[in-house]
Structure 1
Amino acid sequence: MNDQAKQARWLLAVALTVQFMVALDMSVVNVALPDIRADLGFSEESLLWVVNAYALAFGGLLMLGGRLADIIGRRRTLVGGLVIFGGASLVGGLVDAASGLVAARALQGVGAAALAPVAFALITVTFPAGPARSRALGLWGMAGAAGGAVGVLVGGVLTEWTGWRAVMLINVPIVAFALAAAVRSVASDRRDGPAPRLDVAGALLVTTGMTALVLGLVRTETEGWASAWTVGTLGAAAVLLAAFAVAELRVRQPLLRLGLLTLRPVLAANLFTLLLFSGQFAAFYFTSLYMQRILGYGEIATGVAFLPFSAGVVLGSLLATRAMARLGAATLLLAGGLLGAAGFVWFGLAVGVDGGFAGSVLGPSLAASIGIGLCVVPMGTAATTGVAAPEAGMASGLINSSRQIGGSLGLAVLATVASHTTGDDATPRGLVDGYATAYLWAGGLLAVAALVAWLLLRGDRAEPRPRGRTGDRAEGRTGDLSAARAGGPSEAPGGAGEVPGGVA
């Protein structure tokens, strides 16, 4: 194996480690919340901020994090994000005050907002379009699925065996490995031409708008949709994001060039991602509740029960990697979306007070997860098809924002649907009826996603056609492997904007 191939493998290891770690931290803390509350003296309501602080910082800063990779360099953004994330994890594992843990979780979210977009962008600018990039995107999707599912299990095991602090400290050795691998594999940032300017006004508007949106959504379960808090927060988010869209049309170097959404593959990938994760995040939530409240599983047993879902995503991703060139993004997103929707509907029909793991959880989990796995590669490919190299981070921030908004929105809406169905009947039967209704809605969302992707992408082949704006070459980077081979990212074979398919 030559040096370039080894360097590419190490870079892929960095991207997969980052994706796994970011997904892990979305779920690993949840199981430890009761122990955290008892040790640090949280109230019931303030305890939610251990989760919400991470979600707010992560969701609010994703667009900025993605664009920073284009402006200051992917290596600098990656290393900076790792240092912030690792330092916050270390502090969070050592604090003795509730406010300190919330602050550490918010800092973790800041680091994650830089890491998630840059990890995806590194894959799209390093691996040329075709089988190599499809394999890398498949592995990237598997890492995310594994992180989310393993997080539940690891959180339960660590909390029971060593205490809640371990769920924060576990990130430190992971970050250390990623930093060492990044130094070895990610080339120093170099630039041809003048550096792009940061759109400060756009960054402020989108960060405050996204933060207000996520904040309003995550508190709907406690505040209610009709409360002054929810209406005011979501109204402010709408005004801020509308102002952001207007501002982006007026600046020469926007944080988000809205013209990206005129590319049908990019639009299809973002709509699909928004709807998919609206259903998937909620389904994870209700499956956890069903197993613990109805089936009586403990934390570790619940974590183990999620492993088949992770295995199904791996299997679906492997199948998609092999079929991408032959079938194309449209067919895979339609097939995977409909299979995933069928899995969620199966959940809705199978959950019951007298249910069991094999009939009520295992079968539906495998169907849903294999379907979702089939969507990973075509989503990632479509998300950057036609996007020029200097805007790879921008496109990555956009698709990650769609994922985060979709998850928050879906969980808020479907939790309300389930609560409305249950009403005052807090018996196991009433709870199960609420879960079942939410699952059926999740299936409907994914079916709509599949049809939207099919309508937007049908007729397009999997191989993308790179597009760019005037000046893309001047603003390009040469710090990635594919660019270095061709003299610049906009000239690289299978360059940054030529990703074949989609992302989760």
Structure 2
Amino acid sequence: MVSLDMSVVNVALPDIRGDLGFGQDGLLWVVNAYALAFGGLLLLGGRLADLIGSRRVLTAGLVLFGAASLAGGLAQSPGALVAARAVQGVGAAALAPVAFALITLAFPAGPARSRALGLWGMAGAAGGAVGVLAGGLLTDATSWRSVMLVNVPIVAFALAVSVRTGLAARPVRTGDRLDVAGALLATVGTTLLVLGLVRTSDHPWGSATTLGTLGAAVLLLVTFVAVELRTASPLLRPGLLKGRPVLTANLICLLLASGQFAAFYFVSLYLQLVLGYGPTAAGAAFLPFCVGVVVGSVIAARTVTALGTRRLLATGAAVAALGMAGFAATATADGGFLYSILGPSLVTSVGVGLCFVPLGTAATTGVVPGETGMASGLLNSSRQVGGSLGLAFLVTVAAQVTGGGSGRTELASGYSSAFWVCTGLLALAAVTALVLLPAGERAVAAAEPEGATGVSR
């Protein structure tokens, strides 16, 4: 649901503009309001789960997300819809790290956790792809309002299930206080960073607006690190990144997200603006990606013990890079579905699916139960910032190549260039895994702290 809402409104934007009277600039905030709130609050959401309990944070996140979805579906003005999307992002920032943290707490390291992480990664990746299809189908069948209202029954179901499954109600870490200064610095700093990145389509990289926003973000985040080094109960303990698997997992996540998020964006544009697909057809074209992610995740869950996180992560990223090179080589003005979309989608998605299980394993290696929310918030922040950074950079690359042209040939050339850069990012992720991660599964298992896999009581 969280991943789906990153993309589900994209196809509905033209209908939203016509119904509520958005200007072109204002329409972008239907997407950006969610991304800003989500990216800016992930660290805080993960830390709150450690301090006040996963069930409380999960319940609050679900209620916020459901209420905001209902309000957005009933919105009668641009401001009301943008506000609803921002509150959705707040709810998502609570839900995403809690879901990951609950898996690492509830399942011991080994096959059970690998299967659970495979399902977690599969749901996230499939949600982004299905969002494009669902947005087209719901908008065509009813109206744009259904892309918001569809979350309400899902939230109701999730609330009921969370009660029946007996999730941990108490905090894993007691006696600590919330690092208010760190929370404010991380939230504002990360929000400004994402804001500066998502607005580069309107304000060039060298503009005073972009440089000022990114400069302020860097200053706040540097101050955040200084505060975390001094506080007794940090929002993000700097020592967490001293663990090589944790640091490497976040670097790889940053690179994977940079390539994957941008690929979704450019494939969607290529389908509609170059190949002439309608919204529903373009959404349906993403279904092979969902299938490939499922296949890759199943393979990863079954092979991670034998291959180890290092080899599996490197293999997955390399396969994804190969598929992305397929997009780059075949994204031409006279391309076709079978060789320009289907083949590259299946290869790329299998590679991405292979990465989820070892990525989750590495990101929590050596992390004690009281810091699983912290580690999860960090991993999700890496994914969000990586996606925003990659998309902002690659939009600039594509624009430079097209030179302002809007013909099919010019657009295809720009998209192909962006895909080649994505290929390089994914290849770099594979190299990073080989160079920085410990060799062999034993190195990862040895880093697992005693009691780190127990279920919280």
Q: CA deviation at 1:189?
A: 2.1
Aligned to 2:110: 130
Aligned equivalent of 1:32: 12
Deviations 1:249-270 (A, max 9, x none): 0001100001111111101110
- The superposition leaves residues 423-450 of structure 1 with CA deviations (integer Å, 9 ceiling, x where unpaired) of 1333211111110110000010011111
Asked if 1 retains the 8 angstrom alpha-carbon contact of 2:51 and 2:172, the reply is no
User: Which of 104, 109, 112 is residue 84 of structure 2 equivalent to?
Assistant: 104
Q: Give 1:262's aligned residue.
A: 242
Q: Which residue of 2 aligns with 1:177?
A: 157
Superposition map of 1:202-281 within 5 A: 202-281=182-261
The 5-angstrom pairing of residues 75-90 of structure 1 reads 75-90=55-70
CA displacement at 1:466 relative to structure 2: 5.1
Q: Can you give the 5+ residue segments of structure 2 that lack an aligned partner in the other structure? A: none
Task: Work out whether residues 62 and 155 of structure 2, in 8 Å CA contact, stay in contact via their aligned partners in 1.
Answer: yes
1:77-129 CA-to-partner distances (Å, cap 9, x unmatched) read 00000000000001111111110000000000000000000000000100111
Name 2:368's counterpart in structure 1.
388
Q: Does the 8 Å contact 2:50/2:173 carry over to 1?
A: no
CA–CA separation in structure 1 for the residues paired with 2:187 and 2:173: 28
Q: Aligned-pair distance for 1:228?
A: 1.1
Q: Quote the offset at 1:208 in angstroms.
A: 0.3
Tell me the residue number matched to 1:305. 285
> 1:346-495 alignment to 2 at 5 Å?
346-461=326-441, 463-465=444-446, 491=451, 494-495=453-454
Q: Deviations over 1:280-307 (max 9, x none)?
A: 1111100000000011000100111000
Shift of 1:454: 1.2
TM-score w.r.t. length of structure 2: 0.97
CA gap 1:159/1:192 in 2 versus in 1, 3 angstroms: closer
Aligned pairs, number: 455
Q: Deviations over 1:196-231 (max 9, x none)?
A: 100000000000000000000000011111111101
Instruction: Show the counterpart of 1:143.
Output: 123
Partners of 2:232 and 2:455 in 1: CA distance: 21
How far 1:185 sits from its partner (Å)? 1.1
The one of 330, 336, 343 equivalent to 2:316 is 336
Q: Say if 2:313 and 2:359, in contact at 8 Å, map to a contact too.
A: yes
Which amino acid in 2 is paired with 1:96? Q
User: Any conservation in 2 of the 1:392–1:496 contact (CA below 8 Å)?
Assistant: no
Does the CA-based 8 Å contact 1:54-1:105 persist in structure 2? yes
Pick from 256, 261, 268: which aligns with 1:288? 268
Aligned to 1:477: none
Quote how far apart the aligned CAs of 1:161 are. Answer: 1.0
Query: Counterparts of 1:131 and 1:112 in 2: how far apart (Å)?
Result: 28
Per the TM alignment, residue 346 of structure 1 is displaced from its structure 2 partner at its CA by: 1.1
SS at match of 2:441: coil
Deviation of 1:193 (Å): 7.8
Over 3 Å counting, the alpha-carbon distance change for 1:242 and 1:77 in structure 2 is: same
1:28-49 superposed Cα distances (whole Å, 9 cap, x missing partner): 1111100100111100000000
Quote the Cα distance in structure 2 between the aligned partners of 1:155 and 1:342. 29
Task: Give runs of aligned pairs for residues 149-188 of structure 1, distance below 5 A.
Answer: 149-188=129-168
Q: Deviations over 1:156-177 (max 9, x none)?
A: 1111111010000000000000
Aligned partners of 1:27, 1:177: CA distance in 2, in Å? 22
Letter in 2 for 1:196: D
Query: Is 1:116–2:105 an aligned residue pair?
Result: no
State the match for 1:68 in structure 2: 48
The CA distance in 2 between the partners of 1:396 and 1:132, in whole Å, is 19
Measure, in 1, the Cα distance between the counterparts of 2:446 and 2:81: 47
- Report the CA distance shift for 1:150/1:424 in structure 2 as closer, same or farther (over 3 A): closer
Secondary structure of residue in 1 paired with 2:202: helix
* Ranges of 4+ aligned residues in structure 1 off by more than 6 Å: none
> TM-score if structure 1 supplies the norm length?
0.88
Secondary structure of the residue that 1:223 maps to in structure 2? coil
Q: Aligned partners of 1:245 and 1:149: how far apart in 2?
A: 35
Aligned to 1:480: none
| Distance in 2 separating the partners of 1:374 and 1:225 | 34
Q: Which residue of 2 aligns with 1:486?
A: none
Partner Cα separation in structure 2 for residue 325 and residue 439 of structure 1: 32
Whether the 8 Å contact between 2:51 and 2:171 is mirrored in structure 1 is no
Deviation at 1:59, TM superposition (A): 0.2
Please state whether the residue corresponding to 1:86 is helix, strand or coil.
helix
Residue range with higher mean Cα deviation, 222-231 or 292-301: 222-231
Q: Give the whole-Å Cα distance in 2 for the aligned partners of 1:414 and 1:193.
A: 41
In the TM superposition, residue 369 of structure 1 has moved relative to its aligned partner by: 0.6
Q: Report the equivalent of 1:18.
A: none
Aligned to 1:10: none
The aligned amino acid for 1:427 is G
How much is the aligned-residue C-alpha RMSD, in angstroms? 1.4
Alpha-carbon distance in 1 for matches of 2:394, 2:166: 41
The whole-number CA distance in structure 2 between the counterparts of 1:315 and 1:346 is 19
Q: Secondary structure at the match of 2:380?
A: helix
Q: Secondary structure at the match of 1:197?
A: coil
1:317 is paired with a residue whose SS is: helix
Q: Structure 1 residues 194, 137: closer, same or farther in 2, change over 3 A?
A: closer
Alpha-carbon contact 1:388-1:466 (below 8 Å) kept: no
CA distance in 1, matches of 2:448, 2:311: 23
For 2:236, the aligned partner's letter is L
Work out the CA distance in 1 between the residues paired with 2:448 and 2:290. Answer: 35
Q: Percent identity?
A: 64
Shift of 1:188: 4.8
